[in-house]
Amino acid sequence: MKQTNRWILFGVAGLVVLLVLGLVLQAIRNLLWDLSYILPPWLVAPVLLIGAILVIALVIQVGLPWWKGWKTRRGTTIDHNKPPSPPGTRREAAEQSLQSIDRLLDRLQDDVARQALHVERERVARELARGDLVVVVFGTGSSGKTSLIRALLQDIVGCVGAPMGSTTGSQTYRLRLKKLERGLQLVDTPGILESGLDGRDREQEARKRASRADLMLVVVDGDLRSSELDVVRSLAGLGKRLLLVLNKCDLRGQEEERRLLALLRSRCGDLLAVEDVIPTSAAPQSLPRPGQKPWQPSAEVALLLQRMAVVLHADGEELIADNILLQCRDLGDKGRSLLNRQRQTEARRIVDRYSWISAGVVAATPLPGVDLLGTAAVNAQMVMEVAKVYSVQLTKAKAQELAVSVGRTLAGLGVVKGGVALIGTALSVNLPTLLLGKAVQGVAAAWLTRIAGASFMTYFQQDQDWGDGGVQDVVQHHYDLNRRDSALKRFLDTALRRVVEPLQQTSKKRLPPQPGPLEEGDALGRGHRGQ
C-alpha cells in the first residue's frame, strides 16, 4: 500500500513538472513570435538573451537575500527552541557556565553590582585561558608552609622559623615540574585558626585563595585537631583535590611517623586516598658534629613532588576545569542572588501600588460585610505584572485562576475576617464612627492585597511551585509575617497618610458648616428684631 502511494505521488509530481515546463516553453514561443513581428530577425535572439539575463539578475538580487533571511530566521527559531547540547568535557561545561553568567549580567539593572560581577567573570575567564596550574599551600601558622615552598623551589622565600602569623598576605612563586607542560604557581597563604581579629581576617584571605586553587596542599605538623579536621572537610566539600602533608618528620622517629600517618589516613579515609597523605621534612634541624660545623640534612620532599607530578600529569587539565566550574557556580549564585533581589524590589513596588489602588476603590465604594475578595486580595492584573518581573508569561485566564485560588485560601483560613478585625481594632482608637467603616474596609483591602501579592512572589520565586505545604502554608506564612507588631505598625503609619487622612479631608468638605460663637453686636441686633 505504501509502495503504491509512493508511485502515485511520483506520477503526480512528474505531471506537474511537465505542465510547468510546457507553460514556460509556450511563453517563450509566444514571446519569440511577438518579437519577430516587431524587430528585425537578426535582433530577436540578442534581445531575448538580454531579457533572460535581466530576469535572472532580478531573481538573484531579490530572491537570494530573502532566502538567506528565511534560513536565518528558521535557524534562529530552531536554535531558540532547542536546548543547549550537553558539554562533552569539563572545559566546555565551564565555557557554557560563563555564557550563562553573561545572560545574567544582561538582566541586572544595578550598574555597580553588574560591573562587580563582570569583573569577577573576566577574572574567571582569564583563569580558564591561563597556562599555569595553581597549587595553594594551606595550613595552621608555623606548620611549615613557607619552609615547604622553599624546599620545593630549592630557594629561600619568605621568613622561615618566625612565630605564628608571620605570613600576613598571600605570596605566589613559580616553578616547573619535569614532563609537565604547564607551569606551577605555588601560593603561600596566611596561617589559619589564629586568634584575634587580624587572625580571622588572614584566615578569610587564606580560604579565599584556597577556593581558587586547582590543587591544595594542606600542611600539618602532627595529628589533626578537630578544628583542623573541620577545615579539611570544608575544603574537600568545595570539590577541591587535596594532598595532606605531614611535615617536620625529622622531629620524630620512624615508629612515631608511621603511627601518625596511619592515624591521619584513618581520620581522612572518607576524604583522601591513602597515597594522598604524604610525609615530608621541609627544613630538617641541623645535627651537631664535634669539632666541625653542624651538618644540615637536605629537605625530604621527594615523595610530595612525585605525588604532585602524578596527580597533575593525570588530572591537571580536569583540575583546572573543575576549579573554573566551581568558581562559575559561585559567580552564578551571586548573579542569581542579585537578580532575585532586583526582582523582589520590582515586585514589591507593584504589590504596593495595587495595595493602595485596592484601598482607594474599596474606601470610595464600601462593600457590604467583609467580602473583600473581589477587589482586594484577588487581582489578576497584579498577578500578571508580578509574573512578568519573574520572566513568566501568563495568560489572563491563568492569572485569574491563581488570583481566585489565593482569594479562596485567604477566606478559608479566616484571614479576611481576622484582617478586618485586626485593622478595625487598630483604627477605632483615633477615628469617629462615621469614618470607621470606610477606613477599615479600605485599609483592610490594602493589607489583604499585600498578603496576596507576597504569596504570588513566593510562588514565582519557587519556579511556579507552592511548595510541599501548598498555597495554604504560603498564605499563612505571609499572614503571620504581616501581623507582627513591627510590620503592622509600619503598614498602619502609611495607611493613615494614604487612606485615612484623605477620607477625613473629604468628609469635612461634605459636612454642613457648624455655627460659630455669636458676636455681641449680632446678639443685640437679633434681640431688637425679636422685639
- pLDDT score, position 84: 55
In this prediction, residue 94 carries a pLDDT of 72
Cell digits for 295? 651538618
* Tens-digit pLDDT profile for residues 124-138: 777 777 667 888 888
- For residues 422 and 489, give the distance between their C-alpha atoms in angstroms, rounded to a whole number: 12
What is the reported pLDDT for 377? 44
Look at residue 29 in the predicted model and tell me its pLDDT: 72
Determine the straight-line distance between the first and last CA of the chain, rounded to whole angstroms.
Answer: 123
Upper half-sphere CA count for residue 160 (Cβ side, 13 Å): 15
Q: Is the per-residue pLDDT at 66 higher than 80?
A: no
pLDDT band at residue 477, thresholds of 50, 70 and 90?
very high
pLDDT band at 394 (very low <50, low <70, confident <90, very high): confident
Contact 146, 159 (CB under 8 A): yes
Any idea what DSSP says for residue 167? Answer: -
Contact assessment for residue 285 and residue 251, using Cβ atoms and an 8 Å cutoff: yes
Taking the C-alpha atoms of residue 173 and residue 153, their distance in angstroms, rounded to an integer, is 8
CB burial string 507-524: b at 16+ within 10 A, e below: eeeeeeeeeeeeeeeeee
Cα three-residue angle 410-412-417, rounded to 5 degrees: 65
What would the mean pLDDT of 298-317 be, rounded to a whole number?
84
Q: What is the pLDDT of residue 520?
A: 47
The mean-pLDDT minimum among 22-36, 262-276, 406-420 falls in: 22-36
Res 111 pLDDT > 70: yes
**Residue from 188, 186, 191 nearest 166 by CA:** 191
Q: What is the mean pLDDT of residues 55-74?
A: 62
Report the predicted TM-score, pTM, of the whole model to 2 decimal places: 0.56
What's the CA gap between 120 and 92, in Å, rounded? 19
| Residues composing the chain | 531
Q: What is the mean pLDDT of residues 238-244?
A: 82
Count other Cβ atoms within 10 Å, centred on residue 291.
Answer: 4
Q: What grid cell was written down for 78? A: 530552531
The string of DSSP letters for 489-531 reads HHHHHHHIIIIIHHHHHHHHHHSPPPP-PPPHHHHHHHHHHH-
The pLDDT value recorded for residue 323 is: 75
pLDDT value at residue 350: 92
Q: What is the mean pLDDT of the chain?
A: 75
State phi, psi for 6 to the nearest 5 degrees: -65, -45
